[in-house]
Structure 1
Amino acid sequence: MMSRYTGLSLQSEAEQIRQSIQDILTTPIGSRIMRRSYGSLLPQMIDTPFNEITRLQLYAAAATALIQWENRISLESISIEPQEHGKFILDLSLTVVNSNQNESLSIPLNFGAIS
């Protein structure tokens, strides 16, 4: 798998999973021509006020998308912290299925035109 930023090959499985998760969560459902159900509902929540209800909806949307589209992981826990407008940090605790190794990933999620 190649890095979307450098074009170089990603060396570790953790890097590949991190990039895949970021792609899944930032892709709006319905935006892929041949895979209309690919992606998550997170991009639709950009402008919603960040409160406890929205936080629970973000958790549900992220977990649902990852369970459906990333079969290399078993999700243990998830937390989302807002940064600037349209930016979040997603903290995941997961197990890589093939190696049964526990991983903690912090993934920046940037929505909108400014990244």
Structure 2
Amino acid sequence: MDLDHHTGASVDGWAHVVQSIETILVTRLNTRVFMRQFGSGVPAMVDMPMNDANIMALYVSVAEAIDRWEPRFEMTDVTFSAGADGVMTLQLKGNHLPNAHLGDVTVVNDETQVIRVQATRVDNWSVAA
């Protein structure tokens, strides 16, 4: 259980996993004082050109960060799209493993979970489950 970053209400279960992934993806590496490795390289990639090499680097950065910091989400697919208005969207698909942080890797159900992460060129991030 944790507090919702936007409302201050308590959050747990799948909503807590989504909030955790948002925190991981928007946190720049080397910015947490006692956990310098926490976060991802995604914020540094926001203004990079949308070529194949950078899109692949984005996929790798997202996958590595989630694999390292969020055991309750087993990512199975990621897709990327970018609009002419500068908004990029990542769609993450995977399985919810509610007790993986305790060593139990049982999937909560056979339903695939989807998370959409959007960012504009001014580092304005949003996440929707």
Q: Which TM-score band (shorter chain)?
A: 0.7 to 0.9
Q: Which residue of 2 aligns with 1:104?
A: 114
TM superposition shift of 1:30: 0.2
Q: Evaluate the alpha carbon distance shift between residue 36 and residue 64 of structure 1 in structure 2; reply closer, same or farther with a 3 A threshold.
A: same
Instruction: Kindly report the root-mean-square deviation, in angstroms, between the aligned alpha carbons of the 2 structures.
Output: 1.9
Bigger Rg over Cα: 2
Report the Cα distance in structure 2 between the residues aligned to 1:111 and 1:9, rounded to whole angstroms. 31
Confirm whether residue 88 of structure 1 aligns to residue 74 of structure 2: no
For the Cα contact (< 8 Å) 1:26–1:109, is it kept in 2?
no
Secondary structure in 1 aligned to 2:116? strand
Secondary structure in 2 aligned to 1:63? helix
Secondary structure in 1 aligned to 2:3? coil
Confirm whether residue 28 of structure 1 aligns to residue 38 of structure 2: no
Count of residue pairs brought into register by the alignment: 113
Q: Which residue of 1 aligns with 2:40?
A: 40
Residue identity over aligned pairs, in percent, reads 24
Q: Evaluate the alpha carbon distance shift between residue 114 and residue 22 of structure 1 in structure 2; reply closer, same or farther with a 3 A threshold.
A: closer
TM superposition shift of 1:82: 2.4
Report the Cα distance in structure 1 between the residues aligned to 2:13 and 2:19, rounded to whole angstroms. 10
TM superposition shift of 1:92: 1.0
TM-score, with length taken from structure 1: 0.85
Q: Evaluate the alpha carbon distance shift between residue 114 and residue 94 of structure 1 in structure 2; reply closer, same or farther with a 3 A threshold.
A: closer
Amino acid at match of 1:104: V
Q: Evaluate the alpha carbon distance shift between residue 7 and residue 110 of structure 1 in structure 2; reply closer, same or farther with a 3 A threshold.
A: farther
Secondary structure in 2 aligned to 1:108? strand
For the Cα contact (< 8 Å) 1:94–1:104, is it kept in 2?
yes
For the Cα contact (< 8 Å) 1:80–1:89, is it kept in 2?
yes
For each residue in 1:3-36, what CA deviation from the matched residue of structure 2 results, as whole angstroms up to 9, or x when unmatched? 11111112x5221111111110110110000100
TM superposition shift of 1:111: 6.2
